[in-house]
Structure 1
Amino acid sequence: MTATWCWERRSRNYGNFGNANQWTVNAGLSSLARESTQNSADARIDTPAELVFTFIRLDGSRRRDFENAVGWDVLGTHLRSMGGESSGAVTAGQIRAGLEAVEEQDSLVLLRVADYGCRGLTGPEFPEDGVPSSEYGNFIKLCRLDLFSGKDEASGGSFGLGKAVYWRFSRLQTVLFNSVLSEDDAVAGLRRNRLFGVNQGVVHTTDGVGYQGRGYFGDPVDDDGVASIWGDERLAHKLYLDRRDPRPGTSALLLGFYDPDRPDLGGGELADLARELREGIEENFWPLLARGGMRVRIEIEDGPHREEIHVDPEETYTELVRALRRFDEGDIDEVLDEPYSVVVRDVPIDISRRRTGTRHNRFTHTAKLVVTASDKQRDSLENKVCLFRRPEMVVQTIDRAFESQTYHAFLVAGAAIDPDSPATEDIHADDFLRFSEPPAHDRWIPGPRGKQASQANLTAHYVAPWVPNLRKIERAVLDELLLLFGAPPPPAGKAPESVMRHLRFLRGDPGGKGGGVSAPRKPDTQLVEWTVVDGCWDVHFEVKARNRAEGWSMRPRLALAGFDGGLDTVDWASLDVVDGGGEIVDGELRLAGKDRGRFVKVVLRGRSTAELPIPAEESGVDVVLRGTGPLVDGEEGTR
């Protein structure tokens, strides 16, 4: 059989201008690391499975031989036709720019992503009438379907979008595959070297004939069907898709590899790309690698140069890897009194009632917060809490620093608590968290209103409400950290929030029942900037008052609050107007009314005396107004 490229004829009813799925995948090698590693982790049938990334640079005769094997004459012709559609399609513009970059460069860069000990591209070539989609094999799901996951419970993804990562990082929107199946998954007795290619292009016209956007590389079996090529080891070798290990799995080859956010780098220094990819894998999958669920290595084939890099998160995230191993062994300390000591705290997560699949009532899941004291070697996960479940990929981090302690931590939830024998409720919790993840699988905790990624899968499977359940995760984690370490340091120029909560009633912040009292008709203050200078508070603040004919007079006072919530007002060493029409007379602020406008405003700067009842570094700060009344003929009004 002869492998060739084929595209279906363009339909009058529908035309596709690219696969929108890929836009759900972020650019950057960290995203490539997350999505591709998760895909392989979900397909594991052996432990440990193995994942190998290989950067390949081809030039000269090696490039020409590869292009001959991949049918470049046909593929290139269609790609050029697709690029001509760039005025009306984003993907077409990408293909045009990618094709120009590939043809201008002497070398062609490929990336091969190969897993071993994983379920390969199983199942028949084409969907069959009457066969439900849930019974499709991995081949159809990956190569012929969009937005379909079909993954088991507690797997990594739920949208079926992670596979788009392969095309996202190909300049030519073209990926080739070779898969080996286990004996149990053999298709009509065939199981080795299942070769196939997919081009995610746009509708185009070549030699006067209109074609659909998606093209396939394989064996044409009828007018519009293209099937896999089986058992052609010679072709697999020419396409750099050799399977060097007899174990089942899949190799994906990305043609014209690049980072979409940095297209100007081209192939760049392959060693730099490999290092960045390694960092992304270690940061996102240190739990998976630490528990031995997968081994990962990165290879470089650059002409005669060969290099192999083994990914080992223990070198970078020593505290986290050791803490996870101690947690798994039940080796826990009572206190954090030295580097690598480990404590565990319970964090409740409310799980909503499920109405599809394996149904269950709402319940409270107990996740485990594991905290370890850090050594002196800094890394990117210091003073952060990594959140993960059974796929053992870090979904999200909660960032919080404390003056008293440098730490590393993780919240292990769902079936990841005891991966060898998870309880039923742990599996249910894992599914709830999986469905809470947006397509990028980068959060459980909803973002601010208007900035929240889609959590539509929860709508389909669970009874609302669930947003409060997810938001309480962060609050519960921070509460446990506060009990361990005390209040966090305030941001530069800002008092601790734990203190400022006691002062809200002074600033007229709105409150509910039992909350602060708002006084909108009286002058109000708003801190603009506040910092400690030589043990004194230096404060810029604004006073805003309703404009009225009789004006206002008042005495601004600096208010300090300690961690016990106690309140003290202190004297100013200096107090001056820096903007606005007011004036300071003997410590009194005088504001005259204006001819027009609803409000009068003035900005002041004050510095406290050095003699304070509470050290400035240990206090919260606000400005309160005393003696508020009308301004009468430039004199003080009634007090």
Structure 2
Amino acid sequence: MADAMEFGEWLGRQLSRRGTTQADLAAELGVTRAAVSSWISGRVQPRIDKLQAIQIFLGLEPGPDALQVDAADRSSDLTWYHRPAHADGGRELGNAAAFAFESDLAVLAREATQNSLDERYVADEPVRVRYELNEISGRRLERFLEALRWESIEPHLDAAAASGQKVGRVLGDGLAELRHKERLVLLRIDDYNASGLTGDEYEDGRFAAVVRRQLDSRKTGSAGGTYGLGKATLWAASRLGTVLINSTLSEPHGGRSERRLVGRLDLPWHRTAEGEWAGPAWLGVPDAARDAARSWWADPVITEDLFLTRSSSAPGTSFLVVGVQESVGEAGDLEEMRNRLAEAVGRNFWAAMIAPGGGRPTLEASVAAFRDGEAVVPEEPVDPYLAEPSRARALRVYYDGGTVSEPTDSQSVVQSTVPLRVPPLKEGGGAQTEHRAVLLLTEADEREEKTNRLVTMRGSRMVVADRKVTDVPMGAPRFQAVLLAGGAVREPDDATAAAERFLRTAEPPDHDDWRKTDDLVSTYARGAISRIEEFGRAMTAEIRRILHRPAPDTRDEGPAELRDVLDLTRPKKPQSPKYPTVDALDGEILPDGAWRVRVTVKLPAREDPWHGVPVLKFVTRSGPHAVADWAGLTPESGCEVAEDGRLVFEPGSRTARFEGETDVTSHPVAAAMAEVEVELRRAKEAV
């Protein structure tokens, strides 16, 4: 039994939830209003007979625990509360937060999974995320719309659709689809071992942040999200602007934790026969004290009718996107939609699904698709080793301590470090610290189409950036690289926490890069932008350094013709270091058999312009290196081409780049039968 104060708070909450006054309760129980006031204030507790009478009045099951639990809500009381239009005439013709993201299933999967990871409840157990597509029609659709109180929101949807604005056109398309085909596609996103939407209905807490507010993140530390924008993708993904929620709480609210349901309709300003409306609306039971609708403790029947039944009592939340936008393939192609969801989760969260040695992964994910109760694609787990074969293998080797400092074979994983200098905060000062991020590099799997790429991540182990690495040495194998920074490193250093915060501050709302942001500039001392840019350059520089190292002979692996073509070697540097030299060479064979090469030249410091003549040679397996003629030279930076074919380098430049294409008729052998090299001769040597 609760003490007098707890009982008083509970009783006051029950009266407020029912819209009942103290006088009403006093009259029902045959006591004075002052007696009820003393109970609610916590000064005294009622006698046993009065406690039993209170239980009957509130419709509670008899028993001592009943006086610590909120009274159950009746589904018959459900209603939609529509926010009236602003009295000052202001209008919001759409949710600005939703426009920060593309309306796409892949974007939704990334943002929703990130939010689930950020709410991990038990630290040594994985967050389990399940995506389920349901196409419904016939009686299932009828029951769903009845439980949704469709007749109450349909006029508002029609009015908003008639606005002619972008949001209105999407709503109109969704309504036409529903009425014409008499079917509806629902997407439910369940997470387990997450905190759930805890907290008060209106005050600070997870529930109010998600259901009532915009741009309220409430996240700290290594969380993947920072702006409070991600939840907007749920409503943006609905062609009817509607999302329903069922949460199992990790911390009871009002003595209850299971089946806390609420719905939110996100519309632009609109006008109906009943008046003008701001746009947002909430499905719940009436809250007389607030003139609003609040969440309700639902029974299993309406939970099932709304397709919100959860598979276990583990804490977490289920979001149901009503009329999900079918942004890929033909409308109604559930299998393609399911594949897009699975691909997005695998591509962005493969690292979170791989467990460190002896532990459990941070994330387990699965996707399923159903049509009127029949499985179109049964539930299948997302496999990180299928999503990212090379990178997943590299991370596994790193966790197992099997990395090497230099490549030894095609399966080896090279580990190196990249320094990140973290500047001091504007407030609190302090000294700059240095974090050692971990770089992993391995040969790409033959199944991977996009190669020679670097992905970056921090503590959440969600992929932040995915970028192409250019200017790699000729003859280097196809590779994949992973950079682990902040909390993602296996053995943290003294600057890990500082690096995690610094990088988190440097992420834009899309969390797809580390770069200048307003938060970064306002939080860190001068030089923060330079440190981020320096970090980015250091990553790619370290990759190129690793690839420049001598690798084992792999000419017996793969097509010999292709390896010979790609094994373009740089010429030896001239004896004198005081003359321009070729620093990097890249090239390809064109369809007509000509070589196209891109050459980077390193220039010694000099006030006067350097002059030189590029010479391309065929390096055959025997005989002298034959010279081929140029069909044309194109300057790219730091140089010009004179009429006689000489290169004239800009005074003061330290590097220059040009592109050249050979004359096929001058080739001593077919291009595929030889390697090529380019040397830069002094003008008088080429005569």
TM range (shorter): 0.7 to 0.9
Tell me what 2:269 maps to.
203
> Partner amino acid for 1:186?
P
CA distance in 1, matches of 2:268, 2:353: 39
* Cα drift, residue 332 of structure 1: 1.9
**Which residue, out of 540, 543, 551, partners 2:632?**
540
Structure 1 residue 318 displacement after superposition: 2.7
Aligned to 1:221: 287
Task: Report the Cα distance in structure 2 between the residues aligned to 1:196 and 1:159, rounded to whole angstroms.
Answer: 23
Q: Aligned with 1:173: secondary structure?
A: strand
Q: Describe the superposition over 1:188-228 as per-residue Cα deviations: whole angstroms up to 9, x where unpaired.
A: 21211110111110111121411111111111213632110
**CA deviation vs aligned residue, 1:554-603 (integer Å, no higher than 9, x gap):** 75135699xxx999xxxx9xxxxxxxxxxxxxxxxxxxxxxxxxxxxxxx
Correspondent of 1:362 among 432, 436, 444: 432
Q: Which residue of 1 aligns with 2:321?
A: 254
From 504, 509, 512, the counterpart of 1:439: 509
- Contact 2:424–2:525 at 8 Å: present in 1 too? yes
Amino acid at match of 2:451: E
- Aligned alpha-carbon RMSD (Å): 3.7
Residue type of the partner of 2:499? A
Quick check: 1:536–1:609 contact (8 Å CA) kept in 2?
yes
Distance 1:244 1:442 in 2: 33
Task: Tell me if 1:557 matches 2:645.
Answer: yes
Name the % identity. 26
Secondary structure of residue in 2 paired with 1:236: helix
Counterpart in 1 of 2:193? 117
Partner Cα distance (2:99, 2:146) in 1: 31
1:180 paired to 2:248: yes
1:22 maps to which residue? 98
- Whole-angstrom CA distance in 1 between matches of 2:87 and 2:403: 67
Counterpart in the other structure of 2:586: 489
Q: Structure 1 residues 536, 188: CA separation in 2 closer, same or farther (over 3 Å shift)?
A: same
Distance in 2, Cα, partners of 1:51 & 1:496: 49
Question: Please, which runs of 5 or more residues in structure 2 have no aligned partner?
Answer: 1-73, 356-360, 549-583, 619-625, 636-640
Task: Say whether residues 1:406 and 2:478 are aligned partners.
Answer: yes
CA spacing shift, 1:12–1:330, aligned 2, 3 Å:
same
Q: Does structure 1 residue 288 correspond to structure 2 residue 352?
A: yes
Q: How many pairs were matched up?
A: 535
Displacement of 1:516: 6.7
- Give the secondary-structure state (helix, strand or coil) at the position aligned to 2:644: strand
Aligned-partner Cα distance in 2 for 1:362–1:188: 48
Question: Take 1:423 and 1:3, find their aligned partners in 2: how far apart are those partners?
Answer: 54
Compute the displacement of 1:15 (Å).
Answer: 2.4
Q: String of CA shifts for 1:527-564, please: whole Å, max 9, x gaps.
A: 9xx999x9735443589xxxxxxxxx975135699xxx
Matched, 1:38 2:103: no
- The residue number in structure 2 matching 1:449 is none
1:618 match: 677
Q: Secondary structure in 1 aligned to 2:232?
A: helix
In structure 2, which of residues 437, 443, 460 is the aligned counterpart of residue 391 of structure 1?
460
- Counting only pairs closer than 5 Å after superposition, residues 53-202 of structure 1 correspond to structure 2 as 53-86=131-164, 89-127=165-203, 136-182=204-250, 185-202=251-268
| In 1: Cα distance, 2:404 partner to 2:634 partner | 50
> Paired residue for 1:501, among 601, 618, 624?
601
Residue number in structure 2 paired with 1:372: 442
Letter in 1 for 2:325: Y
Of 480-489 and 10-19, the range deviating more from structure 2: 480-489
Query: Are positions 1:300 and 2:369 aligned together?
Result: yes
Q: Could you tell me whether the CA contact under 8 Å between 1:536 and 1:616 is conserved in 2?
A: no
CA distance in 2, matches of 1:469, 1:312: 36
Q: Corresponding residue for 1:585?
A: none
1:456-495 aligned at under 5 Å gives the runs 456-486=518-548, 489-490=586-587
1:365/1:492 CA distance change after superposition, 3 Å: farther
Question: TM-score, with normalisation over the residues of structure 1?
Answer: 0.76
Q: Which of the pair is proportionally richer in helix?
A: 2
Instruction: Detail structure 1 runs of 4+ shifted over 4 Å in the superposition.
Output: 421-424, 490-497, 514-519, 558-561, 604-612, 620-627
Q: How far apart, CA to CA, are the structure 2 residues paired with 1:42 and 1:516?
A: 56
Per-residue deviation, 1:92: 2.4
Q: Which amino acid aligns with 1:489?
A: D
- CA 1:102 to 1:489, structure 2 compared with 1: closer, same or farther past 3 Å? farther
- Equivalent AA in structure 2 for residue 412 of structure 1: L
Q: Does the CA contact (< 8 Å) of 1:560 and 1:620 recur in 2?
A: no
C-alpha contact 1:538 1:608 (8 A) present in aligned 2: no
AA in 1 matched with 2:209: K
2:495 paired with 1:425: yes
Alpha-carbon distance in 1 for matches of 2:129, 2:226: 22
Q: TM-score by structure 2 length?
A: 0.71
The CA deviation at 1:607 is: 8.2
Report if the CA contact (8 A) 1:556-1:624 is conserved.
no
Distance in 2 (alpha carbons) for counterparts of 1:326 and 1:337: 14
Q: Tell me the SS of whatever aligns to 2:309.
A: coil
Post-superposition CA distance 1:227-250 (Å, at most 9, x none): 101142221111000011110000
- 1:122-176 deviations in Å (ceiling 9; x for gaps): 100013xxxxxxxx21111111111121201121011111111101111011101
Partner amino acid for 2:305?
K
Q: Map 1:327-346 onto structure 2 (within 5 A).
A: 327-346=398-417
Following superposition, the deviation at residue 424 of structure 1 comes to 4.9
Quote the Cα distance in structure 2 between the aligned partners of 1:455 and 1:143.
Answer: 27
SS in 2 for 1:54: strand
| Aligned residue in 1 for 2:388 | 317
After superposition, give the CA deviation of every residue in 1:373-430 in whole Å (9 maximum; x if it has no partner).
Answer: 334x322553212100011011112322553212222000001103xx7445211101
CA change 1:387–1:20 in 2 (3 A) is same
